[in-house]
Structure 1
Amino acid sequence: MATTVIAAFNEFMKDTVNLKKADTDDARASRDWLIGKMNDFEKDDKFPVSFPAIHIAFGSFARRTKIRPLDDIDLMFGLTGQGATYTILSDRITVTSSGEGSRLHSYRHSGADTVCSVRILNAFKNRLQDIAQYAQADIRRNQEAVTLKLVSKDWNFDIVPCFITSEDAFGRTYYLIPDGNGHWKFTDPRKDRDRVTTINVQNNGNVLNVIRAVKYWQRRPTMPSMSSYLLETLILDYYAGRTSCSSFVDMELEALFRHLGQSVRYSVNDPKGIQGDINSLSAEARKAISDRCYLDAQKVSEARWFENNKEYENPSINGAMCSGHSFLFTGES
Structure 2
Amino acid sequence: MAKSVNQAFDEFNLNVVNLLKSTTDTARSSRGWLIDQLLGFPESVDNFPNDYPEKHIKYGSFSRNTKIRPLDDIDLMYCLSADNAYYSVDAYDLSKYYIHTPNASNNLKLLSDEYNVLNSIRVVNKLVSALKNVPQYSNSEAKRNQEAAVLNLTSYAWSYDIVPCFYTVGGFYLIPDGSGNWKATNPGVDINNISETNTNYGGKVYQLVRTLKFWNANFTSPKISSYLFEVLVINFVKKSGSQNDYNDLNIRDFFYYLYQTIYYDVQDPKSIQGNINNLTPEQRQRISNKAKDCYDIAVSAVDYELNKKDQQKAIEQWAKIFGPNFPKYE
After TM superposition, the score normalised by the length of structure 1 is: 0.92
1:105 to 103, 109, 127: 109
Listed as ranges, the matches of 1:1-333 within 5 Å are 1-43=1-43, 44=45, 46-89=47-90, 90-91=92-93, 92-99=96-103, 101-109=105-113, 111-167=114-170, 173-242=171-240, 244-308=242-306, 309-314=308-313, 319=316, 321=318, 326-330=319-323
Answer whether contact 1:117 1:183 (CA < 8 A) is retained.
yes
Q: Deviations over 1:151-191 (max 9, x none)?
A: 10111000000001113xxxxx1100000100100000011
Write the letter of the residue equivalent to 2:282.
E
Q: Deviations over 1:118-175 (max 9, x none)?
A: 00000010010011111111111011101101110111000000001113xxxxx110
Answer whether contact 2:84 2:105 (CA < 8 A) is retained.
no
Write the letter of the residue equivalent to 1:146.
A
Instruction: Using the TM superposition, give the Cα deviation of residue 6 of structure 1 relative to its aligned residue in structure 2, in angstroms.
Output: 1.7
Partner secondary structure for residue 164 of structure 2? strand
Structure-1 separation of matches of 2:317 and 2:240: 32
In structure 2, the gaps of 5 or more residues are 326-330
Answer whether contact 1:85 1:98 (CA < 8 A) is retained.
no
- The change in CA–CA distance for 1:178 and 1:100 in structure 2 (over 3 A counts) is closer
Q: Deviations over 1:242-297 (max 9, x none)?
A: 55323432121111111111111111111100001100001111000011111101
- Bigger share in helix: 2
Answer whether contact 1:83 1:97 (CA < 8 A) is retained.
yes
Write the letter of the residue equivalent to 2:36.
G
Structure-2 separation of matches of 1:190 and 1:100: 27
Answer whether contact 1:82 1:98 (CA < 8 A) is retained.
no
Answer whether contact 1:97 1:105 (CA < 8 A) is retained.
yes
Structure-2 separation of matches of 1:174 and 1:318: 46
**In the alignment, what sits opposite 2:328?**
none
Answer whether contact 1:67 1:215 (CA < 8 A) is retained.
yes
Answer whether contact 1:220 1:331 (CA < 8 A) is retained.
no
Partner secondary structure for residue 174 of structure 2? strand
Query: What is the count of residue pairs matched by the alignment?
Result: 320
Answer whether contact 1:199 1:240 (CA < 8 A) is retained.
yes
Partner secondary structure for residue 183 of structure 2? strand
Q: Deviations over 1:16-39 (max 9, x none)?
A: 001111111111111111011011
Instruction: Using the TM superposition, give the Cα deviation of residue 204 of structure 1 relative to its aligned residue in structure 2, in angstroms.
Output: 1.3
| Identity across matched positions, percent | 38
Partner secondary structure for residue 78 of structure 1? strand
Answer whether contact 2:141 2:153 (CA < 8 A) is retained.
yes
Please provide the CA RMSD for this pair: 1.7
- The change in CA–CA distance for 1:21 and 1:103 in structure 2 (over 3 A counts) is same
Answer whether contact 2:85 2:104 (CA < 8 A) is retained.
no
**In the alignment, what sits opposite 1:170?**
none
Q: Deviations over 1:215-268 (max 9, x none)?
A: 001123552111011111111111124553234321211111111111111111
Structure-1 separation of matches of 2:118 and 2:104: 12
